[in-house]
A and B are shown apart, each in its own frame.
Chain A
Amino acid sequence: MTVEQGIFLFISFLILFSGFMMVTRSNLVHAALYLILVLFGVAVLFVLLNAGFLAVVQIIVYIGAIAILMIFAVMLTRGDVTGEAITMNSVFGWGMLLSSLFGFALIIMLGQWPAVTSLAPALPTGWNELVEIGVAFLSPQGFVIPFEVASVLLLAALIGALYVARAPKKGE
């Protein structure tokens, strides 16, 4: 077993374990902290996949912003921060059946696909992902329109979130 495979196995164990803990904990702050562990593990996987830029962005966007927002939301909507009596809703059993069926179906289907055992080809020589991403995002032949649309989406989400979450004024 190479060092890389060892790291992968360790990280995938961490991801699956924390993911499982995240969906089963009744304490929501703990669930959010486990979510952060999952996100961190995914960032490590990105590094293993030679996508360093994505790994760093994953940590900035997910751990630095989304996860902290989550913890904030948990604390702002408390009353039941520490230990709700019932964590799962009434269709809990169906959910377990559905998701495990789905997971097994995916795994079986993956096993029948021939390309699944392929190994990673070498990256092209002189590969610089920062330059590639920058050019792809800003060239008209590349992804400039999705990029602009994403920025508009973020702006709309920002304004919408501000408007929705604003405390209602008196007499409204």
Chain B
Amino acid sequence: MPLSWYLYLAAGLFALGLFGAVARKNAVAILMSVELMLNAVNINIVAFWRYLAPAEIGGQIFAIMVFAVAAAEVAVGLALFISIYNSRKTIAADEINLMKW
């Protein structure tokens, strides 16, 4: 199975995630789409590790770093959304205009 299969799949997944992040209205859905993009990146990282440099463990280490950052991002992001929802009763991204005037 050539490397290209994984890369094409990851490109498709990344485009889907990008679409979701740009077009979705609900903030939680946007966060989910960001997770989709992070997963596409992870597929790429691990595929590159396996096909181009299997002797170097660095590829897997980077994937694990992505996991850690994703977990931190989701925890803080969801906390922010819940806090915003408590004060403004909405998490529609285009209605949260606290920082613009």
A binds B: yes
* Total B residues in contact with A, Cβ cutoff 8 Å: 74
Q: When the two chains form their complex, are residues A70 and B78 in contact, meaning their CB atoms are under 8 A apart?
A: yes
- Of A15, A120, A164, the residue contacting B51 (CB under 8 A) is A120
Task: Name the distance in Å between A107's Cβ and chain B's nearest Cβ.
Answer: 5
Q: When the two chains form their complex, are residues A53 and B3 in contact, meaning their CB atoms are under 8 A apart?
A: no
Complex-state Cα separation, A111 to B58, whole angstroms: 26
User: Looking at chain A's contact residues, is the secondary structure mostly helix, strand, loop, or mixed?
Assistant: helix
Instruction: Give 1 or 0 for each of A30-68: 1 = CB within 8 Å of chain B CB.
Output: 011001001100100110011101100110011001100
Q: When the two chains form their complex, are residues B81 and A73 in contact, meaning their CB atoms are under 8 A apart?
A: yes
Q: When the two chains form their complex, are residues B32 and A35 in contact, meaning their CB atoms are under 8 A apart?
A: yes
**How many of chain A's residues touch chain B, expressed as a range?**
35 or more
Complex-state Cα separation, A155 to B68, whole angstroms: 11
Q: Which residues of B contact A (CB under 8 A)?
A: 1-9, 11-20, 22-26, 28-29, 31-33, 35-36, 39, 42-43, 46-47, 49-52, 54-55, 57-58, 60-61, 63-65, 67-76, 78-83, 85-87, 89-94
